[in-house]
Chain A
Amino acid sequence: MIATWQAPLESGKDSEELLLSFDEGRDRRILILPALFDEANKMRRFTVQLMRRLNSAEVDCFLPDLPGCNDSLSPLSEQTLASWRSAVDAAAKQFGVTHFLSVRAGALIAPASLPGWHYAPQTGAKLLRGMMRAKIIAEREAGRDTSSDQMLTVGRSQGIELNGWFIGSAMLNQLETAEPVVGERITSVEQKALGGAGLWLRAEPDQDNAQSDALASIVLETLVTQS
């Protein structure tokens, strides 16, 4: 269930990363693309609970850590959306997946060639805005004044640390304009389809099995329709 995988880096080398998976060699295999940065922590339990539901419905699923995230030995500051997209493409090939499911800003790095689902997709600009806003609040609390414009000016050339996340300049530039990947076979599932409020809103990471079950049901319904 917990293994590792080889993620390609921009340098041309590979980075060994952790992989959480339910792999029994079944026909339907879904690559799970996690929420990014702070939301990754908030959505982790929801995401793994969703995978457990899919597994019990005879669907294989794979949640690879991306370089720079969680226990990765590669620095986050060196990662970009483009390098993560390459890693995702490599993961899709290595695991032989048939579909993907992205959570929140995971939609920014989804493979356009595969059918799949974006759960509550978020644009890069909105993700960045939330992170910069948190930094502004924390800085003001510490008696220092700053603004989004100031942060963007610095970040575009030197990269910037936002609430403990080291965003390199290339990552920042890409996030500013990144949109959820579009494709004919990609379905967007909005939060209202799950009932209740999105768990990324919670001040503390939380779980809601009813929401994980609801998303699993939506995914499974589509899979049944397709087969």
Chain B
Amino acid sequence: MNTDQASDCTPTGDKSGETPAEKDSGLPMNRAALDEELKSILADVLGIDPEQADELTSDSGLFGHLPELDSMAVAGLLTEMEDRLDIVIEDDDVDGEMLETYGGLLTFAESKLAEA
């Protein structure tokens, strides 16, 4: 049996494997690229179109504002951020402020990337 089935398949419409060019080149991801990636993650979590995710602003409410975004969903969101942004989120990092709005989450991700 083939031991690496995944590599023999042609993914269609796959965005999860893409990384911004800035990341590939080893330079820190800029704010625009990070904003795009974070919106893409939120679109996957909330099950919304990229166009809808594009409408998120700094003030858009997240945890505590969207009923479907419960603690399990937020935990999944943070794990996905770790995987796709290549950051590590500690227990102590997680607080209401960073999760309450899109702007808070973006600022948090930016500070984590700066540490890396």
Contacts and interface: CB of A to CB of B under 8 A. Distances in A.
B69 A203 contact: yes
Q: Place the interface of chain B in its size category.
A: 35 or more
A124 to B, nearest CB: 14
B13 interface: yes
B74 interface: yes
Interface string A187-199: 1111111111110
Contacts of B78: 133
Nearest to B99: A137
Contacts of B57: none
Report the 10 A-B pairs with minimum CB-CB distance, sorted nearest first.
A197-B44, A203-B73, A134-B75, A138-B71, A133-B75, A137-B71, A203-B68, A193-B9, A193-B6, A190-B6
Interface stretch (A44-52, A78-86, A140-148, A167-175): A140-148
Interface in A185-220: 185, 187-198, 200-204, 206, 210, 214, 218
Q: Place the interface of chain A in its size category.
A: 35 or more
A136 B71 CA distance: 8
B68 A204 contact: yes
A134 B78 CA distance: 10
Interface in B18-70: 44-47, 63-64, 66, 68-70
A157 interface: no
Contact of A117 (B5, B72, B80): B5
Contact of B14 (A148, A185, A192): A192
Contact of B16 (A163, A192, A226): A192
Given A140-B94, A197-B44, A163 B71 contact: yes
Interface of B: 1-6, 9, 11-17, 44-47, 63-64, 66, 68-80, 91-92, 94-96, 99
B44 A202 contact: yes
Contact of A137 (B5, B15, B94): B94
Contacts of B1: 115, 184-185, 187, 222, 225-226
A38 interface: yes
Contacts of A115: 1
A133 B2 CA distance: 36
Interface string A109-138: 000000101000000001001110111111
